[in-house]
Structure 1
Amino acid sequence: MAETISSTEDDATPTPMSVEEVIEGSLGKMTWNQILQAVFACIPPIFDNQQTLISVFTDAQPAWYCTNTNILNCNSYSNICSLPRADWNWVANKNRTIISDWDLECASSFIKGLPATCYFVGCLLTGFLVASLGDTSLGRKNLLLFSCLTMSLAALASGFAPSFWWYCVLRFICGAGRVSITISSFVLLSEKVGKRWRGQIVLLGFISLTLGILSLTGIAYFTRTSSWRALYIWTSTPGILYSVMIHFCLFESPRWLFLQGRQNEAVSVLKRIGTLSHLSSVLARNMFKIEQSNVNPFSSMRVIAKKRWAIQRLLVTMVLSFGVGMMYFGMFLGVGSLGPNIYLSSIYNSLIFLVSSLLSYLFWIQRVNRRSSILGFCTVSGATGIVSIIAGHDQKGIRVGLELTALFCACMVFNILFIYTVELFPTCVRNTAVSLSRQALLFASVFVPVLVVIGRRNELFGHTVFGVTIIVCGLLVLSLPETRGKVLCDTMEEQEVTAKDCGLCGCI
């Protein structure tokens, strides 16, 4: 009889709930508070994209005209450095861009592209260190605040740079600060809603990236008669004000708080943005189990290094990202080559990015294979980029159409490759793999500014480098397995078993 009572009491003991069950029970249904938090969390990528592409306007080569009409063959195709300074002048005011303001019109391509290169080098060098802080000491919210504030303050200071070299240093600091903004924003977006709404909410982040380009173009257009410094002031001030608002209005990820052992704070966040109902009493009695993750940022690299197939996949995805980055940033930063109306060209590019994001996440990814999509879009992007210079040399409309096609295909690969990399690796190393793939993308951006400047003098050379790179890198996708419709694995062992069951043994 005693044994029966004991058994009954044991059966009555509530089963501890996992963090995933607690969060899904609270955030499974979308609430207005969740929507407001999502909207607020997707704002920082707007400022991020503004600073990433601001060099399109501030570092552009301004137009000039001949003041001495007696000089023969003096036109926009003439070598400005071969003419006496008194025989030509800038179309707009001298302070419109850094090229005219600091008399860099005859400087080397390396010098002209150095500020943008310093920005991307800052992103590259701090990417590995700062990104891990979001999983450990700082958390998602504080890392977002720190990154946005650092980037915005450095951008504001760039508007008051006393010299070209100080300007390069400040652009480096700006790039170092912004590296975790989009990642932290997307993580916060995905961790504050249930898995049912995760895809739709993350799409807000891609829309905000488009808004960043559009808003930058609008501000640049309305300040086109002012100094380039005004553009930095107008784009950085909202970011500084928003950083202050993050502290008061944006909540930390409840999932991260649970994993850090800060249960009371996690419950407080869930009560404010979710629907706890019966889970509130369970949480109040601490009737849940916490599976704390390993915070060592290098442990996952050791796991990858032990598996040959994992190293192969990682290297291929990184090379793919490098090729996509060359074409992606090359088209965005080289919009000036489309013609004198740089503002209209920038709007075209941003709308192309928006359309590609909507098409990718609402239609393409669910229905089409990853490998064939990446291979096809890489090939078309590279080919149209090269042909746009050859076939569209005298036809501006044909050239613009081909270049926009090249950019659209590069954006499609950019979106599909992100999902493909997530599916290629198990949960235990997925964040590391995606981060390294993103770093390869940023590594490509280090070379792009110099190539864009060279392309102003030799457009065929620049477009050929971008096009050939993305085509060659795209061919490597043939060495990877197809992942569409496959389950996501959690461990390396599960990934190996799944690959063998699907007949993909040759890929591991």
Structure 2
Amino acid sequence: MADTTPLLPPYPTTSSSSSSASSSSASSSSHQIPKPSTHSIDEAIESHIGATTAAAQLLPASLAALAWVFDAQQTFINVFADAMPPWHCTSPSCSEAAAAAGSSPCNLPPSSWSWSLPPYTSTISSWSLQCSSPALLALPSSSFFLGCLTGGFLLATLADSRLGRKNMLLLSSLLMSLSAALTAASPSLLVYAALRFICGFGRATVGTSALVLSTELVSRRWRDRVSIIGFLCFTIGFLSLPGIAYVARGESWRTLYVLTAAPAFVYTVVVYFTMKESPRWLLLKGRRLEAIETIKKMTGGGNKVINSSFSNLAFVVPHVGADEETSDNIFAAAKTLWYNRWAFRRLTALMTVSFGVGVVYYGMPLNLGNLSSNLYLSVALNAITELPSSLLVFCLISHMNRRSSTLAFTAASGLFSLACAAKGGRGGWLEMAAEAELAAFFSACTGFSFVLIYSIELFPTCVRNSAIAMVRQALVLGGVFAPVIVAEGRRRRVLSFGVFGLAIGCCGVFAACLPETRGKVLSDTMEEEECAGACGN
């Protein structure tokens, strides 16, 4: 509910006010009211939440970041559910023909070969897709990423306008978990692809809402590290997926969807009953009383000094511009980003970098099915690669410049991807997979972390969720093209890694157009960000 208490001015404005203040000085000596010293939402949040213990800040933020675990599982589940299952010859005449056919049984008589595992272990063997076109084989993965793209554009602004961070996280997690559970009952490939689209549509804002909510629940001291907690949770989800798939390797691919959907649903229920809304967002929407109650709960609510100083929060609300007040227009934040030239330039540059990162970040794990190695081990190695990446950023984020680091890691990923293509062309495929491919993926993961942290610091609270969502949608757009590139790479392996390297290398250059934000105070309104002196960058 919105607070209707009249707002007091932050500063004494007239001489009459000073005379009235002097006349009442004697009467106020016994009951002194704290002098307002807070002039922005960031300072108000910092003055109250910053004084709490690390555990009081990090536990709610970590709960929000836990959503990344289930986000990662649904993002890469197609690597196992749609994998090409092993097969073997069943007749003496099959051996010579199989050698000529390579790894595909398409040119062999149906009676001369058989699947090594039960047909229900993969969608390919369940629906006899082994000889289908690359576009059809990539349909489920591409549908998922296309759903992410659509959901990001349609749902992202709701977190900044009507629903808020918590409710957006709830809606996204619920839709993702339910659609994943329904995917287990898919009767055909088209229904399967449609449900993957819906899952991607719901998943689109899970990571964004979790990232923004977790960073807005903590003080400036923990903001950078809380961002990395989300990345670590994503790595845990990615790493847990090959373990779940390995345990259920003899079961139906439908079982894999059930095993990943159930924990995501339980998480949604826990968030509904325990998670708090962002006090920053509540203040920007004029819901001051709710924001004060939220901060009281976060700080213990029993400290009389803190309670008496909550009146300072009234002074920050007038800083919200008239065009940024609570509005029924759910696309208000998107319009603000569009019509402010400095914001549009930043968003365009970040989205370009994010697209290049997305091609490699989503393409590399999907391309593991084309390697002549154990799929479970290969995916696990790629997932483990994210751990040192996240730990590197976690430990050094406060000392690393955002712009130069983004440029360095995207360039490194591009060079290693091109090295993959060169090694693959000379036949050194297994060596390449163990060295250059992992190095390229590591660099892309680290670049991904910097892009998201960069996005948090470049945009104010009033449009932050929408801006980060757009950046992530550019990342997902790279994921839409990645399955097609991977499917084409089954014919020419050099092609896929060559495209990966050129995409991230060329797109990463656009980070040079962005201002440096290391150590920057978070702004809450467009006016504050403009006054910070960065609008000319």
Name the TM-score, length of structure 2 as normaliser.
0.84
Instruction: State which of 371, 374, 383 in structure 2 corresponds to 1:341.
Output: 374
Q: Which residue of 1 aligns with 2:417?
A: 385
Letter in 2 for 1:197: W
Q: Which moved more, 1:213-222 or 1:448-457?
A: 448-457
Q: Is the 8 A contact 1:320 1:476 kept in 2?
A: yes
Instruction: State which of 277, 282, 288 in structure 1 corresponds to 2:308.
Output: 282
| 1:348-404 Cα shifts (integer Å, max 9, x gaps) | 1112112112212321x4444444433332232122223224325335134321100
Letter in 2 for 1:294: E
Distance in 1 (CA, whole Å) between partners of 2:150 and 2:89 is: 44
Letter in 2 for 1:435: A
Whether 1:106 and 2:131 are equivalent positions in the alignment is yes
Q: Superposition pairs for residues 2-151 of structure 1, below 5 Å?
A: 4-6=22-24, 13-16=33-36, 19-28=41-50, 29-30=52-53, 32-71=55-94, 72-75=96-99, 77-151=102-176
Q: Which residue of 1 aligns with 2:207?
A: 182
Q: Superposition pairs for residues 299-314 of structure 1, below 5 Å?
A: 299-306=332-339, 308=341, 310-314=343-347
Whether 1:452 and 2:486 are equivalent positions in the alignment is yes
Distance in 1 (CA, whole Å) between partners of 2:256 and 2:84 is: 16
**Tell me, what secondary structure is at the counterpart of 1:226?**
coil
Whether 1:236 and 2:236 are equivalent positions in the alignment is no
Q: Superposition pairs for residues 135-284 of structure 1, below 5 Å?
A: 135-276=160-301, 277-282=303-308
Q: Superposition pairs for residues 277-426 of structure 1, below 5 Å?
A: 277-282=303-308, 288-291=314-317, 293-295=324-326, 296=329, 298-306=331-339, 308=341, 310-363=343-396, 365-392=397-424, 393-394=427-428, 396-425=430-459
| 1:221-263 Cα shifts (integer Å, max 9, x gaps) | 1000111011001111111222222222223333334444444
Distance in 2 (CA, whole Å) between partners of 1:25 and 1:134 is: 25
Whether 1:465 and 2:499 are equivalent positions in the alignment is yes
Distance in 2 (CA, whole Å) between partners of 1:284 and 1:482 is: 33
The count of corresponding residues between Structure 1 and Structure 2 is 501
Q: Which residue of 2 aligns with 1:476?
A: 510
Letter in 2 for 1:74: A
Residue 63 of structure 1, CA deviation = 1.7
Distance in 2 (CA, whole Å) between partners of 1:480 and 1:286 is: 34
Distance in 2 (CA, whole Å) between partners of 1:499 and 1:136 is: 25
* Distance 1:158-1:287 versus aligned 2 partners, 3 A rule: closer
Q: Is the 8 A contact 2:208 2:469 kept in 1?
A: no
- State the Cα RMSD in Å: 3.0
Q: Which moved more, 1:229-238 or 1:340-349?
A: 340-349
Q: Is the 8 A contact 2:157 2:465 kept in 1?
A: no
Distance in 2 (CA, whole Å) between partners of 1:202 and 1:2 is: 48
Residue 304 of structure 1, CA deviation = 4.6
Residue 55 of structure 1, CA deviation = 0.4
Distance in 2 (CA, whole Å) between partners of 1:340 and 1:201 is: 36
Q: Which moved more, 1:130-139 or 1:490-499?
A: 490-499
* Distance 1:4-1:319 versus aligned 2 partners, 3 A rule: closer
**Tell me, what secondary structure is at the counterpart of 1:89?**
strand
Residue 42 of structure 1, CA deviation = 2.4
* Distance 1:228-1:354 versus aligned 2 partners, 3 A rule: same
Distance in 1 (CA, whole Å) between partners of 2:315 and 2:404 is: 42
Distance in 2 (CA, whole Å) between partners of 1:248 and 1:494 is: 34
Letter in 2 for 1:456: R
Q: Is the 8 A contact 1:319 1:473 kept in 2?
A: yes
**Tell me, what secondary structure is at the counterpart of 1:82?**
coil
**Tell me, what secondary structure is at the counterpart of 2:348?**
helix
Q: Is the 8 A contact 1:65 1:91 kept in 2?
A: yes
Instruction: State which of 464, 469, 474 in structure 2 corresponds to 1:440.
Output: 474
Distance in 2 (CA, whole Å) between partners of 1:407 and 1:2 is: 67
Residue 108 of structure 1, CA deviation = 0.9
Q: Which moved more, 1:334-343 or 1:293-302?
A: 293-302
Distance in 2 (CA, whole Å) between partners of 1:485 and 1:249 is: 31
Distance in 2 (CA, whole Å) between partners of 1:257 and 1:423 is: 20
Letter in 1 for 2:115: W
| 1:258-295 Cα shifts (integer Å, max 9, x gaps) | 44444454444334331441345427879733525534
Q: Is the 8 A contact 1:391 1:399 kept in 2?
A: no
Q: Which runs of 5+ in 1 are unaligned?
A: none
Distance in 2 (CA, whole Å) between partners of 1:73 and 1:383 is: 39
**Tell me, what secondary structure is at the counterpart of 2:120?**
coil
| 1:431-474 Cα shifts (integer Å, max 9, x gaps) | 44333222211111111112222222221111111111112212
* Distance 1:279-1:184 versus aligned 2 partners, 3 A rule: farther
**Tell me, what secondary structure is at the counterpart of 1:133?**
helix
Distance in 1 (CA, whole Å) between partners of 2:522 and 2:162 is: 28
Identity %: 41
Q: Is the 8 A contact 2:208 2:468 kept in 1?
A: no
* Distance 1:80-1:418 versus aligned 2 partners, 3 A rule: same
Residue 70 of structure 1, CA deviation = 2.0
* Distance 1:6-1:469 versus aligned 2 partners, 3 A rule: same
Residue 184 of structure 1, CA deviation = 1.7
Q: Which moved more, 1:460-469 or 1:411-420?
A: 411-420
* Distance 1:270-1:472 versus aligned 2 partners, 3 A rule: closer
Name the TM-score, length of structure 1 as normaliser.
0.88
Distance in 1 (CA, whole Å) between partners of 2:120 and 2:418 is: 34
Distance in 2 (CA, whole Å) between partners of 1:191 and 1:494 is: 17
Q: Which runs of 5+ in 2 are unaligned?
A: 1-18
Q: Is the 8 A contact 1:14 1:287 kept in 2?
A: no
Letter in 2 for 1:278: K
Residue 332 of structure 1, CA deviation = 2.1
Q: Is the 8 A contact 2:368 2:375 kept in 1?
A: yes
Distance in 2 (CA, whole Å) between partners of 1:24 and 1:476 is: 33
